[in-house]
Amino acid sequence: MKTIAIVAEKGGAAKTTTALAISAALHDDGKRVLVVDLDRQRNSTMILADNKTIGQYQNITDALQGKGRSKPLAPCQNGFILPSTAFLSESSIKGLSDIKTILHAYSGDFDYCVIDCPPSLGALTIAALTAADFAIIPVKADLFGYAAVTETVKTIKAVQGKANKGLRLLGVLPCMVNTRTRVGADFVAALEELTKAYRCRLYPPIRQSAAIPEAQAMRAGNIFKYAPRAGATQDYRGFFEILKGDIE
């Protein structure tokens, strides 16, 4: 099982949107997919899972506490999900290898695992990076998003240096970008210079699109089925075609 961590130092970077798009595209491609929601806001869980029955299944908080191992994984729109709970916190992690140990138990059942990390660079995110094969940094097209990329890369490199030498930073994904404006174009150009310095990809930008929040409001976890003609959907499709070559 190959594990992809979607990491961002701050909220509002389209981290969950990107995790949903990748898991949906992998699932549509015939892959066996596990989504792990490590964000206590539970956005991936609320969109993908049946919240009326979710309590019957294993969740990440219980798994970290060694409870509920007899419970099955929850089926979801994009495969299966290890859902988050409101009780998840940084203190849930006892050691950096906790997530890696949990995922190892499922490694024979899935082709890919997509981790929706919390909007911070704390213990949960570091544990996710310790367990991951690949990391992708989505970034919102503004000054604060640009600054967050640098901090996120520092954390990834720290994990590469100590806990997970096999971790690969695949690249940065600009999200909610209007490239027709000077600000949007300048933002992408600045990221291009930054990613050259970090020796990782700058993936093609994802446009702003009303289809994304609309799909999430409708709890549609697969944007490719919900709004196949939307600009952002087409951008995510192009991104995935590049990503496939990076993770195969």
- pLDDT (tens digit, 9 = 90+) per residue, 38-51? 999 999 999 999 88
Residue-by-residue DSSP string for 73-102:
PEEETTEEEE---TT--GGG-SSTTHHHHH
60-87: average pLDDT: 88
Give dist(CA 216, CA 14) in Å, integer: 12
Instruction: Check pLDDT > 80 for residue 220.
Output: yes
CA-based R_g, the chain, Å? 17
Query: Quick one: tokens of 96?
Result: 């950096």
Question: Could you tell me the maximum CA-CA distance found in the chain, to the nearest angstrom?
Answer: 55
Helix orientation angle between 143-162 and 182-198, rounded to the nearest 10 degrees: 10
pLDDT band at 54 (very low <50, low <70, confident <90, very high): confident
Per-residue pLDDT of 17-28, as tens digits, reads 999 999 999 999
Q: Give the residue carrying structure tokens 């699109």.
A: 209
Q: If you classify domain 2-241 with CATH, what class do you get?
A: alpha beta
77-82: average pLDDT: 96
Per-residue pLDDT of 85-130, as tens digits, reads 988 988 888 877 899 999 999 999 999 999 999 998 899 999 999 9
Beta carbons of 165 and 35 less than 8 angstroms apart: no
Q: How far is CA 159 from CA 131, 164, 173, 246, in A?
A: 10, 6, 20, 20
Of residues 22 and 181, more confidently modeled: 22
Of residues 194 and 113, more confidently modeled: 113
pLDDT band at 69 (very low <50, low <70, confident <90, very high): low
pLDDT on residue 10: 80
168-190: average pLDDT: 87
Instruction: Check pLDDT > 80 for residue 70.
Output: no
